């Protein structure tokens, strides 16, 4: 994580940063995750994210073009969905559950997905649109490996299960789903997702 620039930044680091777009990109994504988690989707601004990353507003827009695209790139679950979905169909439920739990446990309290659920629950239009966009993207990814007319329904039921689990474990933070270990949660979730996916 890059800290905010000094009032008079030395020329050398500034030039070095300009030469390394990957470092910029990583710093922007890290700053975006922080900002979305802290402020929610609707209230986080590109300007604040740029400031946290120590870059200009214009540079953020050059890398990500919009706040929505930046969010979709910053949230690991959305970013990694194509990778998670690709591969052996038989172990897809375990991969989805594993990726979901691993990501939520890593980011703990400051997960942007939890922030999005909170924002959407407060009826923030932008958050609701984004949640919907994430679901459409998931359906598209799952369609590449699952057959059937009702793939979209099954994906939506899986999404509901994951949202509900995130709600119980990371927002309400009480009950069995909140107190079990990550490994236990992955096992239970795999079992439920398998049923929804294939039955």
Question: Using CB under 8 A as the criterion, which residues of the chain lie in contact with a second copy when the complex forms?
Answer: 117-118, 120-123, 128, 131-132, 135-136, 152-153, 156-157, 159-165, 167-168, 171-177, 180, 188, 191-192, 195-196, 199
**Per the structure block, which two tokens stand in for 197?**
């996916």
Q: Please, what is the minimum distance in Å from the beta carbon of residue 31 to a second copy? A: 23
Q: Please, what is the minimum distance in Å from the beta carbon of residue 1 to a second copy? A: 25
The string of DSSP letters for 57-98 reads HHHHHHHHSSHHHHHHHHSHHHHTHHHHHSS-GGGHHHHHHH
Q: Please, what is the minimum distance in Å from the beta carbon of residue 188 to a second copy? A: 6
Q: Please, what is the minimum distance in Å from the beta carbon of residue 74 to a second copy? A: 20
Residue 59 or 155: which CB sits closer to a second copy?
A: 155
Residue 94 or 167: which CB sits closer to a second copy?
A: 167
Residue 35 or 158: which CB sits closer to a second copy?
A: 158
Q: Please, what is the minimum distance in Å from the beta carbon of residue 173 to a second copy? A: 8
The pairs formed by 90-96 with CB atoms below 8 angstroms and a separation of 24 or more are 92/145, 92/197, 93/190, 93/191, 93/193, 93/194, 93/197, 93/198, 94/186, 94/190, 96/158, 96/190, 96/193
Based on its alpha-carbon atoms, the radius of gyration of the chain, rounded to whole angstroms, reads 18
| 155-176 residues labelled b (16+ CB within 10 A) or e (exposed) | bebbbebbbebbbebbeeeeee
Residue 145 or 159: which CB sits closer to a second copy?
A: 159
Residue 89 or 171: which CB sits closer to a second copy?
A: 171
């Amino acid at each position: 994580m890059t800290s905010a620039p000094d009032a008079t930044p030395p020329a050398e680091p500034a030039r070095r940063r300009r030469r390394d777009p990957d470092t910029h990109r990583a710093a922007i994504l890290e700053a975006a995750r922080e900002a979305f988690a802290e402020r929610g989707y609707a209230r986080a601004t590109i300007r604040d994210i740029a400031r946290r990353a120590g870059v200009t507003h214009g540079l953020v827009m050059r890398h990500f073009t919009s706040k929505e695209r930046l969010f979709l790139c910053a949230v690991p679950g959305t970013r990694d969905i194509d990778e998670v979905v690709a591969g052996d169909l038989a172990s897809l439920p375990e991969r989805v559950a594993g990726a979901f739990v691993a990501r939520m446990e890593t980011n703990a309290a400051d997960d942007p997905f939890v922030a999005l659920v909170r924002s959407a629950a407060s009826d923030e239009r932008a958050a609701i649109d984004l949640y919907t966009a994430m679901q459409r993207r998931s359906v598209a990814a799952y369609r590449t490996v699952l057959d059937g007319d009702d793939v979209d329904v099954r994906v939506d039921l899986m999404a509901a299960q994951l949202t509900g689990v995130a709600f119980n474990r990371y927002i309400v933070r009480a009950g069995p789903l909140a107190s079990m270990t990550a490994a236990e949660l992955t096992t239970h979730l795999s079992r439920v997702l398998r049923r929804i996916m294939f039955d």
